[in-house]
Amino acid sequence: MPLTGRLAKGIEPEDDVRESVTRALRAIGDSHAVPALVDAAGRDAEPDLQVAMAVAAFELAGTGQDAELRRAADVLLQVSADDGAPHAARRDASDALCAHVIVDPACKEAAAATAWWHARRDQVTWQAATHKFVAPAAPATN
């Protein structure tokens, strides 16, 4: 998709253009854009754009894109923990993570949610129908 090429490293220096490309990819709705969005989110220096790109990736993702989406969740965690990021970007990153990752209800604070993610990152699976990561069920205790 030629539009995803606009998100490649060093191609588009203007924040407004990268934001417009992200909105356009989201509107097109093609899950093939997910890797480009996640790559761009991981490189971008603008926290608001990182969040927008990660959210677009989550919304567009289909089955089998777990690895890319784990990286998108990592970006959201990074933004939410960045004291130098604007408060709104940090809040939006946390909200997006909560919207797309079913975290243990006991994880009410950001630090607890981050620890939960790091402990379960490689075990969660993407549910394309609900646009959420879910953790495997805990083993039954007798």
Name the stretches of the chain with pLDDT < 70: 1, 104-108, 138-142
pTM of the model: 0.90
Predicted pLDDT of residue 5: 92
C-beta neighbour count of 32 within 10 angstroms: 13
Residue 7 lies in a domain: yes
Predicted pLDDT of residue 141: 57
Predicted pLDDT of residue 142: 54
Residue 6 lies in a domain: yes
| 63 neighbors 96 (Cβ within 8 angstroms) | no
Predicted pLDDT of residue 1: 53
Instruction: Count structural domains, the chain.
Output: 1
Domain encompassing residue 56: 2-134
Residue 140 lies in a domain: no
Give residues with Cβ within 8 angstroms of 130, minimum separation 6. Answer: none
Residue 141 lies in a domain: no
Residue 101 lies in a domain: yes
